[in-house]
Amino acid sequence: MKLVRYGAPGAEKPGLIDEGGTLRDLSAHVSDITGAMLSDAGLDRLRALDVAMLPEVTGDPRFGPCVGGIGKMMCIGLNYSDHAAETGSKIPEHPILFMKATSAIVGPDDTVVMPRGSQATDWEIELGVVIGTTAKYVSEAEALDYVAGYCIVNDVSERDFQNKLTGQWTKGKSCDTFGPTGPWLVTRDEVADPQALDMALDVNGERRQTGNTATMIFSVAQIIAHLSQLFTLHPGDVIATGTPPGVGLGMKPDPVFLKEGDVMELTISGLGRQRQTVAADR
């Protein structure tokens, strides 16, 4: 299934995309797409519905973040060998973890607003993993059983805030609008292998990032198993699993960063497309 949340910010309704690409409303069956209904049993109840009988949604509504009420947005840094190389970083021994404030999360096509003083706002396409079942001390072999599904995340980053202000990376990762998520949550049964997904990001129609999840240093299963040894993963939590090469920070001979009016377009095979226009906060 492809689960969505559509409508105005803060007033999104639950829906799904049927096999013909039509948006259908789920409001009569669930109040929202949140961790509370993402268990295997909850998703099975939705699968049992007669999709053809669900109301069609007309027009061109905004899509919100594909999961509501996200408790934790966890991000893995330097998780692609080719991206680590472009930034001159060593291959990490363990997954590098930082947190993105949930207030940064927006819809897949919402405007990305550079904060005041920003000179180095950058793009990062990432595979998002949505937890469906409470996970604590799980093994790598069973880790994917705890996944509800997958989505696209743009881990927008202000590099000066991230690297030049005293403190952790979170400062440069958590600015408002820096977490476009969606357009839809694709349930795990429709993703045969999360380590075989093509990824691409364009800026103003020019290809910047091209990659495949096969080059992850730590697989989705390894990441979930590792994090679950440290703290509990709750239904509706999201893990952004790292970015392939091609970020602005790594461009040679000089870094290239976003400017007002730029347009980012992101795709991951089977997971849809995002499109954001960049604005400046005044």
69 vs 8, 64, 137, 282, CA distance in Å? 15, 12, 24, 28
Query: What does the pLDDT read at residue 164?
Result: 86
Domain boundaries, the chain: 67-280
52 DSSP 8-state letter: G
Rounded Cα distance, 206 and 38, in Å: 36
Q: Are 232 and 136 in contact (CB under 8 A)?
A: yes
Write the DSSP symbol of residue 171. H
- pLDDT > 90? residue 46: yes
Question: For the domain bounded by 67-280, which CATH number is listed?
Answer: 3.90.850.10
Q: Specify the pLDDT at position 89.
A: 77
Q: What is the pLDDT of residues 105-139, one digit of tens each?
A: 999 999 999 999 999 999 999 999 999 999 999 99
* Confidence class for position 10, pLDDT limits 50, 70, 90: very high
The pair of structure tokens assigned to 276 is 């954001």
Give the amino acid at 35.
Answer: G
Per-residue pLDDT band for 140 (boundaries 50, 70, 90) equals very high
Report the pLDDT averaged over residues 156-175: 91
Give the span between the Cα atoms of 175 and 173, in whole angstroms. Answer: 6
For residues 24-50, average pLDDT: 97
pLDDT at 239 over 90: yes
pLDDT over threshold 80, residue 16: yes
- In angstroms, what is the C-alpha Rg of the chain? 18
What pLDDT does residue 68 have?
Answer: 98
Band of residue 169 on the pLDDT scale cut at 50, 70, 90: confident
CB 236 within 8 A of CB 36: yes
The one-letter amino acid at 164? K
Q: What ranges make up the beta strands (E) of the chain?
A: 2-6, 13-17, 23-25, 73-77, 96-99, 105-106, 112-114, 121-122, 125-131, 147-154, 157-158, 179-180, 185-187, 198-203, 206-212, 238-240, 263-268, 272-280
